[in-house]
């Protein structure tokens, strides 16, 4: 259940697909564990695919909740802050994880909180 202003997992993943910027990151596969559910996010030169499944050998794995992923992906806070606060765990290619946050530019500045 989400409160008003919160996105569901599905709504957040749709938002990520909508604002995806292909040149921001090389082809890669990311594993997302969001509120206990696994998703595979695959990026190619010009597209993004998100599936509700666990993936083998992702370049980066993010384990977090919807609100934290939204905050990090849309550039509201750095990965390191969410990790320090215990709301995010990152495994794998650290440089690629940081580039992940540039894959989803928000039109007209940052979204409101």
Provide the residue ranges of all domains of the chain, joining segments of one domain with +: 9-100
State the pTM of this model. Answer: 0.86
What pLDDT band is residue 109 in, cutting at 50, 70 and 90? Answer: low
Tell me which CATH homologous superfamily contains domain 9-100. Answer: SCP2 sterol-binding domain (3.30.1050.10)
For 10-68, how does the pLDDT look when each residue is reduced to its tens digit (9 = 90+)? 999 999 999 998 877 889 999 999 999 999 999 988 899 999 999 999 999 999 999 99
Inter-CA distances, 95 with 15, 25, 26, 28, Å: 23, 10, 11, 12
d(CA 45, CA 70): 23
């Amino acid at each position: 259940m989400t409160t008003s202003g919160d996105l569901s997992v599905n709504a957040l993943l749709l938002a990520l697909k909508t604002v995806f910027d292909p040149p921001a990151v090389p082809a890669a596969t990311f594993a997302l564990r969001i509120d206990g559910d696994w998703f595979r996010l695959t990026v190619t030169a010009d597209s993004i695919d998100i599936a509700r499944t666990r993936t083998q050998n992702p370049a980066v794995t993010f384990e977090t909740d919807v609100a934290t992923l939204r905050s990090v992906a849309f550039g509201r806070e750095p990965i390191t802050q969410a990790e320090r606060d215990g709301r995010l765990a990152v495994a794998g290619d650290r440089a690629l994880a940081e580039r992940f946050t540039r894959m989803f530019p928000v039109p007209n500045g940052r979204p409101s909180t």
